[in-house]
A and B are shown apart, each in its own frame.
Chain A
């Protein structure tokens, strides 16, 4: 992964949003949460023709680096929704 967000100066929700927008074209990203738990909604034309697993895999792949390790900033994604605008 080319982007390093471990030294990100700001909120984790911003880090999640930045990571997703960096990977998914024309994504509108809505992130809520804190304390390691987050709710994410991503709207992008990229999801057209993709099934749920493929769509969510794209998003989870984009934030994988934030979910790795025991002290990861993202402990759990409480809810993830992807849809086409």
Chain B
């Protein structure tokens, strides 16, 4: 499909409108695809503002941007009108520290930017079982290493691979572990253990990990409501959806409810729900970022509630 002139002109206008432009699915506050969410999380570390374009809302742009760049996937990041790459490339550039430079972020914003030259050493602990399992996975070669990645949301990934530019190298239990520069600050203090058996695998604990949004099952919520556990339940859907179906005791998160929420102590138990759990996860993360520590997302939303707890609540 050739790119028509109108769409090309629109794309060029958009690329000129701001220095950093991200074509994505959803928007900055509510990404609707995991790859888009990954790029947003990375950009958020560096930039107070940037332009996002939701291709789901605009089929012409969705196809047009792929033609324009000759790049088949979304998200696509542009800086100064130049195509930078998709999710994988942004992750690589972030890990090596190149992205911070490209975005003109102050060095301090890049976590552990310069471990070389006397920066604070990164500490990792491997249990004997973990070190043994890693040695077995590594095999006899000497150009492959264990790599630990810690995403901005503290998701952990262990893999095996070669050295890459910008890596921090850590010695632990006689093994060299590679940590990319972006992960390094988050990885500090991490302990890795290994448990055998069907439920086993590597167990990672990290005292530096900030509090997370916790996932609450519908049956657990039902039990909590029945025993009148102290909790605040908020419905982040629209009034239109509430007219169709609602959970007894859930309060619409309107301006008045939000004011009430902000008057609650930071250790209050707060549960958010929506239709399937996506919007409420975003809301929960927003309040977690404001310092609330016991924030829950109702897993599966009101749909799971209808299916598993109360079939009299209509599904839609």
Contacts and interface: CB of A to CB of B under 8 A. Distances in A.
Interface of A: 52-53, 56-57, 60, 64, 67, 76-77, 79-81, 83
Contacts of A52: 85, 89, 92-93
Interface stretch (B66-74, B186-194, B281-289, B299-307): B66-74
Nearest to A81: B88
Contacts of B86: 56
A77 B88 CA distance: 9
A57 B70 contact: yes
Contact of B35 (A57, A60, A76, A83): A76
Nearest to A63: B72
A70 to B, nearest CB: 13
10 contacts: A52-B89, A53-B83, A56-B85, A57-B70, A57-B71, A60-B73, A64-B72, A77-B88, A80-B88, A81-B88
A53 B85 CA distance: 6
Interface residues of B, number: 14
A73 to B, nearest CB: 14
Contact of A60 (B72, B83, B84): B72
B274 to A, nearest CB: 24
Given A53-B83, A57-B71, 7 more contacts: A56-B88, A60-B73, A64-B72, A67-B72, A67-B73, A76-B73, A83-B162
Contacts of A60: 71-73
Contacts of B35: 76
Nearest to B84: A53
Contacts of B162: 83
B85 A77 contact: no
Nearest to B93: A52
A82 to B, nearest CB: 9
B89 A56 contact: yes
Contacts of B93: 52
B38 to A, nearest CB: 11
Nearest to B91: A79
Nearest to B86: A56
A77 B73 contact: yes
Contacts of A57: 70-71
Contacts of B70: 57
A7 B72 CA distance: 22
A83 B88 CA distance: 13
A52 B70 CA distance: 14
A78 to B, nearest CB: 8
A52 B73 CA distance: 15
Closest 7 CB pairs of A and B: A52-B89, A80-B88, A60-B72, A53-B85, A67-B72, A64-B72, A79-B88
